[in-house]
Amino acid sequence: MKRFATVAAATGLVAATSCAAEFSLIDFDQYDPAKIIPIEYSAPYWVTPAVVKSAKIHVERRKLATGTVLDVTVADPFLDNPGIALLPPDGRKYWDLSGFEELHADVENLDDNQQMMLSVRVNNPRVNAVETANNSGFALNPRERGILKLYYPQADELSQVRIPWMHAVPRGVPGPKNVDGHRIEAISFYGHDLKTHTRNGAYRYRIHSIRLVRPKRPDPAAVRSPETFFPFVDRYGQYMHETWTEKILSDSDFAGKKKQEEASRRGRIASWNRFGGWANGPKVEAKGYFYPVKFEGKWYLADPEGCLFFSHGINTLRFDIWAEQKADNWFLPENRTPRRNYNFARDNLVKKFGKNFRKEYPSFACTRLEEWGLNTIGNWADLPFMKLGKTPYAMEIPGPKCPSTASVPGLEKGIFDVFSPEFTSSMRTAAQSPKFAFAQKDPMLIGIFINNEIRWGDRTAAARSAFASSAEQPAKKEFVQFLKTKFIAVELLNRKWSEHYPDWNAVAKSTVLPDLEKAREELIDFNRHIFETYYSTCRRIVKEFAPNTIYFGSRLHVTGMPELYAAASKYADVVATNTYTWSFDGLRKEGLPDDKPILISEFHVAVLDRGLLNADLRPSGVTQTDRAQAYLRLMQGALLHKQIVGAHFFCYRDEPVTGRWDGENFAVGLVDVADTPYWELVSAMRKVGENMMEYRRKGSFQCNLL
């Protein structure tokens, strides 16, 4: 599809007004409607939008008593992430947003009965195969009006500092997500796939104004030169060249913050029983363990005492997180190790709790969860937090260690062979590990995952990988038997695929893929067989381990694979999905029945106001107050969704400023690297925890969650 043209020079637009606190960017009376074009973001949709032709993306300029507005309707279900792009006015090649660092849009949801989510993005053109962009999003309740805020850090073109590998870098440093404010190619507003994220199949919203806010601050002087910039991480794991509220400045700060937090605690939520279930609400059968139950048309979990339970949880409750250092000068000399990574989080816990922090901290953290309205420890927690017995938990049994199938496009490392004997035996061995024995009869165990975000490729990749394997590979043997059962005679297979196999032995020995279009039906069918074998085997292992526990599946994250969701739904008690979005209100997945309980096993929202550099996957405004509001809207959508039985936030502690093992450096924690809470967010969580069960039962956006 056609993409925006790359041009060589920028034209100034707002530089002269940069001394003002605010600047109205677009006068809708004067702006040419022809400059508003339909777009979508598809791979690589994070950066440059593709121009599309769609009569189902419509913009109308409307005059109201308060001024001229844009009414937007997006109703094309065949686009990935559809929306509109506002191009620079006539005679200009770029928007020049360089004098400011925030873009605000006053937006109104025009729907009466569903949340609307919207993201705004600014992007630069492709330069030497490199594109940069930044975005932010939010959700609005029916007929709600709010301000969509985007903070867009900018790169200083004169800076000589470069930080390879990191997914985002400090403002002023050229690198991912730091835009060239002089050369903004488009301002885009878009939402997610309408097939999976709306109930009405459309978004309808009104843009009242678009303005620039907060004149650009001077970049820290240190970012100009490598000599002044490096090292850029202090002894506590914090970014060195900025200051912010709650930043740790000395060792003595830790004791003060701990004392202040303990003095301000409000205690456990009064309406909870010991499991965090709704003690004062309706009762269902008490079975002594957690199980899914449908009550008044909505799915819930029931706790062991028969109280209705919504799993309000947190992932990755751990002692340790290692910050990566890809060059020897990122950290101070005392934090440099031969391994090049460093555990600032653990060091800070020692400073705050002493050398016995591993004994003291689990109780402290689980008391925090009660205080913050969280009744579940989600995936990837360290075992001492679960074994403490204060908080219900979901846990993961490690995935299989077994032979992989062959490399094919889209699945270059192959996939574990679900038909190999080692597939089942390795998971059974993992489940029988003594370290998990405590959980087998523990009433605090909610359920079990096996694997996370498996890379299955596309709808035929696993089957293609099996076919491309050798004749001795169990998956290849199973595929050949599958074909024999369907076609009986190899001549019938040859006719369907336009092949010339002399016999079934030749099919088994062939590692050359058939024509993918002619074989598509069989490839999809065998993929389905792979998925069902995977989920049925995993279910058997889970039930051997703890017969009454909930099997959550594998924490799905892909879309467009209905066979995968159908297989998970067939064998999982509750289907877990890692879903990053700004609204769960209309969530559905192709292949997932509309009467199957769902656990949101990962989600988050983030902003960049406390020294971190990356707000992905779901940047949600400018301040921690914006972040708390975005969390509230997500939880409202989840609580009103009849299938969702819980939502687990990712994650407990911020990722390191330099990135973890894979480069992620997201500002997504409930606490920072120094164990200081983000009070705005955890206060919102507390309010959700106090009111979520009554709110879910009432079932209306008009009800007050807070």
The CA distance from 26 to 610, in Å, is 31
Contact 669, 655 (CB under 8 A): yes
Render pLDDT for 302-330 as a digit per residue (tens, 0 to 9).
Answer: 999 999 999 999 999 999 999 999 999 99
What mean pLDDT do residues 353-372 have?
A: 97
pLDDT band at 12 (very low <50, low <70, confident <90, very high): very low
Decide if pLDDT at 467 tops 70: yes
Q: What is the rounded CA–CA span in Å between residue 638 and residue 696?
A: 9
Question: What are phi and psi for residue 116, nearest 5 degrees?
Answer: -125, 130
pLDDT at 8: 32
Ordered structural domains, the chain, with CATH: 15-229 (2.60.120.430), 260-379+555-698 (3.20.20.80)
As a whole-number percent, the residues of the chain with pLDDT over 90 amount to 88
Q: Is the pLDDT of residue 6 over 60?
A: no
**Using alpha carbons only, how large is the chain's radius of gyration in Å?**
27
* Confidence label for 2 from pLDDT (cuts 50, 70 and 90): very low
Residue 326: exposed, middle, or buried by beta-carbon count in 10 A (0-12, 13-18, 19+)?
A: middle
Distance from first CA to last CA of the chain, Å, rounded? 46
Residue 54 has pLDDT above 90, yes or no: yes
Q: How far is CA 188 from CA 41, 617, 627, in A?
A: 10, 18, 21
Question: What is the per-residue pLDDT across 508-529, written as a single tens digit (0 to 9) for each?
Answer: 999 999 999 999 999 999 999 9
Give the percent of the chain with pLDDT over 70. Answer: 96
145 has a pLDDT exceeding 50: yes
Q: Which amino acid is at 684?
A: A
Q: Long-range CB contacts (< 8 A, 24+ apart) of 636-639?
A: 636/115, 636/141, 636/585, 636/695, 636/701, 636/705, 637/115, 637/139, 637/583, 637/584, 637/585, 637/586, 637/587, 638/584, 638/600, 639/310, 639/692, 639/695, 639/696, 639/705
How would residue 176 be classed by pLDDT, with cut points 50, 70 and 90?
confident
Residue 698's CB: how many other CB atoms inside 10 A? Answer: 14
**At which residue do the structure tokens 């009433």 appear?**
443
**C-beta of residue 624 within 8 angstroms of C-beta of residue 681:** yes
Q: Reply yes or no on whether the pLDDT at 98 is more than 50.
A: yes
Per DSSP, helices labelled H in 468-561 are 474-487, 490-497, 504-509, 520-545
**pLDDT at position 19:** 56
List, for residues 204-221, the tens digit of each pLDDT value.
999 999 999 999 999 999
Residue 558 confidence (pLDDT): 86
Residues contacting 572, CB < 8 A, separation 6+: 535, 539, 551, 552, 553
Burial tier of 332 (Cβ tally within 10 Å: 0-12, 13-18, 19+): middle
Residue 173 burial (C-beta neighbours within 10 Å; 0-12, 13-18, 19+): buried
Q: Model confidence at 13, in pLDDT bands (50, 70, 90)?
A: very low
Cα(559)–Cα(362) distance, rounded to whole angstroms?
36
pLDDT-based confidence at residue 130 (cuts at 50, 70, 90):
low
Q: How far apart are CA 226 and CA 40, in angstroms?
A: 39
Q: Which two tokens stand for residue 363?
A: 């109780």
pLDDT for res 5: 36
Whole-model pTM?
0.95
d(CA 686, CA 369): 9
Read off the amino acid at residue 647.
A
Gap between the Cα atoms of 268 and 391, Å rounded? 12
Across the chain, mean pLDDT equals 94
Distances, alpha carbon 287 to alpha carbons 35, 276, 437, 449, in Å: 62, 16, 21, 21
How does residue 533 score in pLDDT terms, banded at 50, 70 and 90?
Answer: very high
Determine how many CB atoms are found less than 10 A away from the CB of residue 127: 11
Q: Is the pLDDT of residue 1 over 60?
A: no
